[in-house]
Amino acid sequence: MLELIPPEFRILAGPPSFETCTRDVYAPGTRFSLETTLRIARGVASAVAHLHQRGILHGDLYAHNILTSPTGAARLSDFGAASFFDPATAVGAGLQRLEVRAFGCLLEELLAHCEAAEADAEAIRKLRELQQRCVSPLGEARPLLAEIERELAKV
């Protein structure tokens, strides 16, 4: 299967360590431009929205399960925790919002590694606002991935 993935794709980050507990470990000095940050976020949001529309949860949405190219093209990997759900039910909406929280944590990590110019301040503000909505303690306040995908397209 890896033959289908171009060789320039690499794992975005390593899995959590004892020191980071639940946070993935990025290589020292990892920095992304705003453009690359957006491309990764948009690619992941698009892929997960696609899965959710088909009643599939990825189940392990972390940077160590995302492959990226140097330009920020993103591919989801490791579907070992994937499961099926009915997106038309309240339980299905709740499950989607659990994965939205994971996306929010990923977006927080991407923003922490983003080197944005002063001219990008408004875009960064919008991304931080979206990230905060994704990790809201109130699950029902979190946007679904289809909405996140639309919002990212506007940034």
Looking only at the bridges linking them, the beta strands covering 32-33 and 114-115 are parallel
Q: How many separate domains does the chain show?
A: 1
Alpha carbon 110 to its chain centroid, in Å, reads: 9
Closest alpha carbon to 107 in 135, 81, 72, 79? 135
CB neighbour list of residue 110: distance below 8 Å, 6 or more residues apart:
32, 37, 40, 41
Q: pLDDT tens-digit profile of 109-121?
A: 999 999 988 899 9
Q: What pTM does this model have?
A: 0.94
Checking if the pLDDT of 63 tops 90, the result is yes
| Average pLDDT value for the chain | 94
Domain that holds residue 17: 2-154
Query: pLDDT band at 83, cuts 50/70/90?
Result: very high
The encoded tokens of residue 72 equal 């920020």
In this structure, what CATH number is given to the domain that contains residue 96? 1.10.510.10
Contact 12, 85 (CB under 8 A): no
Query: pLDDT band at 2, cuts 50/70/90?
Result: low
Checking if the pLDDT of 22 tops 80, the result is no
As a whole number of angstroms, the distance between CA 155 and CA 151 comes to 7
Query: pLDDT band at 23, cuts 50/70/90?
Result: confident
CB neighbour list of residue 7: distance below 8 Å, 6 or more residues apart:
none
Average pLDDT over every residue of 53-68: 97
